Chain A
Amino acid sequence: MSTNLTRLASNDRKMSSVEKMKKSLSGPGGTIVLGLAIIIGTSALWVGKMTFSSFNIYLILGYLAIPLIIGIFASFSLLSGVVDLSIGAMVALSATIFALLSINGINEWVSAVITILICMGFGAINGTAIVVFGANPIAVTLGMLVGLRGLARILSRTAPSTNTSQDAISLMITGLNDFTESQISFIPVLFIIALVLVFVTQGIVSLTRGGRHIRAVGGDITAARRAGLATERIKFLSLLASSFGASVGGILYVGKLGSAPVTLGTGMEFTIYAALMIGGYSILRGGVGNPMGGFLGLLIIAVFANLVDNKGLDIRAADIFVGLLLLVIVYLDIRRGGDAFE
């Protein structure tokens, strides 16, 4: 088993960058780029020149930035072979806790740290149930999804009525709002940060020993355990990472929206995992996929959402599109020899 692992590792090293590029174009990468080209082309034909206006690009990238940050951290758990469905609810909980602490006059930085720690505490509960007790990840994190949505709603009701309107705590934190809205020319700063994060994560996953360990745990946990990896710890840490990403996302949303609605992030787990699956990850087995693919997958969804928005269509059309696109992409993956059902 361990020889298998080293061969896998040396394969990674030996392949030249040109070979890698060729391989990625014929593989899932090619499909994604093609998909992206089709969707941008459709938008250009249907909406017109406005698609490429700097304001429109600003809108798309602004829409994309926070989900991208959340998705990059969530991708660690997919890579290690567990799926964390609770990220959307975690975003709502984080936003609510952060807003509650802030309106009670606690310094923003302190509230942010407390919020992140609380959310990571719930991530640790996920990790304990899945890793220590060996419970089914989907059942556990689905329970966490509903539990945290309930908790966010309960906490939101405790806010003074002067600060709430329609199930949302409203507050404007000037510094944070300036940060989330700031832009360099027409590129949002938040997007640049997210993109840097994508490249850093890509480097970690494909080049470092730690990244290879995560992929090994997701790819074949028995082999990884026999090779002497601390498989339990790696899984636990990757679940903590996904809760960390979601809590940071929640705080950023408070800055951007100027409020913390309890419905924040509803269905976000679906959109993000669909994007990651379009980008080559799998929610059924770990060890596959890379952050760049995840970014392109999310970009496809963002461009489509923008198209729907520009044409004034029902926003729910985006749900239908994402659902169908997911089926097509997974089917293409199966045709290429991905894991078929039975």
Chain B
Amino acid sequence: MIRLLSTGNKVPSLRKSADSEYLATILILLAVWIFLVVISVINRNDFLSRATLSAVTFNMCIIGILAIGQGFVVISGGILDLSITVSMLITSFMTVVFYDLGWNTPLLIIVSLLCAGVFGLFNSILVVWLRINPLIVTLATGFAGGGLLLIVFDRGLVDPKSSIADFGTSYLFGLPTAWWPMALLTIGAHFFFKYSRVGRHFLAVGGNPLSSKAMGISLKRTRVATFVGSSIFGGIAGIVFAGFTPEIRPNAGEFYTLPVIAAVVLAGFSLAGGRGSFLALFISVGFLSTIPTALVFFGLQSIWQTFIQGFILIIAVSIDAYRIVKVRGR
């Protein structure tokens, strides 16, 4: 009886062990982030300043929102959405177009997010009904979409007097206003995937699609929701981007694709799906967004940024894979 009770207690510990696994990732990332800040401060004691804070938080707000969208795709088994920056730029450009038409702000935000949603719907149609692998679909639509953006839009000029520009350049509680949507969305995503039934369905599909289907979860509906959802997150990032970018260029997405994937992988999301923590994602976005500013304080030009980010990604995925191999054995 006692044994039964004790095993009974062990059932929730399954969830607990998953939590402690994420906790380890969070603590390691936090330690690395603090280490980066500490060595930067030792190097130049003026690193801890308002200017640094605002540079890091502006970096975070775009990478963070895109990373939530990407994390959403990864965790629910959609592999990756390589076209997420296209959804972002579609929305940025559409806000400019609708603003020039004289639409009011809430309407133009909703309609431009819908445009991103339609792009996501196109992706999901190819994935669900034509059954093409999402990696190929988003590679192709990302490439074709990028080409289309370059042909259709030369550049987008955001009116500095518009309310979107106000939002992008103002401050709230000492941090840029543009930073807060990212923070709220992170908390929302964390609770959604941890506690809500629908969120757990996405996790289940990511972990094991076949048994989820047997359980009665519709794979098609999940996939459509995944890719429309990631495009909408891309769209939200696009509106924030339009807020603080006076001149939007069609090739602006190139600078975000990799840091976003790097953030998701560093945060311990498994590319096979079903595993990941949005709190860890927040920390890894913070860490990656601090690197460019720290580099400047070390006297390195910003061109070092991509080089270092690339190799951090390689090291991170190697360590992660090695850990899994050690646990499971070959």
> Which A residues are within 8 Å of any B CB, using their own CB?
125, 128-129, 133-136, 138-140, 142-151, 153-154, 157, 267, 270, 274, 277, 283-284, 314, 316-320, 322-324, 326-327, 330-331, 334, 339-342
Contacts and interface: CB of A to CB of B under 8 A. Distances in A.
A338 to B, nearest CB: 10
Contacts of A319: 143-144, 146-147
B139 A270 contact: yes
Interface stretch (B47-55, B58-66, B125-133, B240-248): B125-133
Contacts of A339: 133
Contacts of B317: 129, 135-136, 139-140, 143
Interface string B138-152: 011111111110110
A284 B131 CA distance: 14
Contacts of B223: 342
Interface in B299-330: 301, 303-314, 317-322, 324-325
Given A133-B319, A145-B310, 15 more contacts: A139-B313, A140-B313, A143-B262, A143-B309, A143-B312, A147-B311, A150-B306, A314-B151, A316-B151, A322-B144, A323-B145, A339-B133, A341-B131, A341-B132, A342-B131
Nearest to A83: B135
Contact of B309 (A146, A154, A323, A324): A146
B209 interface: yes
Contacts of A283: 135-136
Interface residues of B, number: 52
20 contacts: A133-B322, A134-B322, A135-B318, A136-B265, A140-B313, A146-B306, A146-B309, A147-B306, A147-B308, A147-B314, A154-B304, A157-B301, A284-B135, A319-B146, A323-B142, A323-B147, A327-B141, A330-B132, A334-B131, A342-B219
Of all A-B residue pairs in the complex, the 8 with the closest CB atoms, nearest first, are: A147-B310, A323-B144, A150-B307, A319-B147, A143-B313, A150-B306, A340-B131, A146-B310
A330 B133 CA distance: 9
B281 interface: no
A235 B63 CA distance: 34
Decide if the interface of chain B is mainly helix, strand, loop or mixed: helix
Given A284-B135, A341-B127, A341-B131, A135 B321 contact: yes
Contacts of B146: 319
Decide if the interface of chain A is mainly helix, strand, loop or mixed: helix
A85 B136 CA distance: 13
A42 to B, nearest CB: 18
A118 B313 CA distance: 20
Q: Which of B134, B139, B219 has the most CB of A within 10 A?
A: B139
A222 B150 CA distance: 45
B303 A157 contact: yes
B283 interface: no
B164 interface: no
A284 B271 CA distance: 14
Contact of A133 (B145, B151, B325): B325
Nearest to A340: B131
Contacts of B319: 133
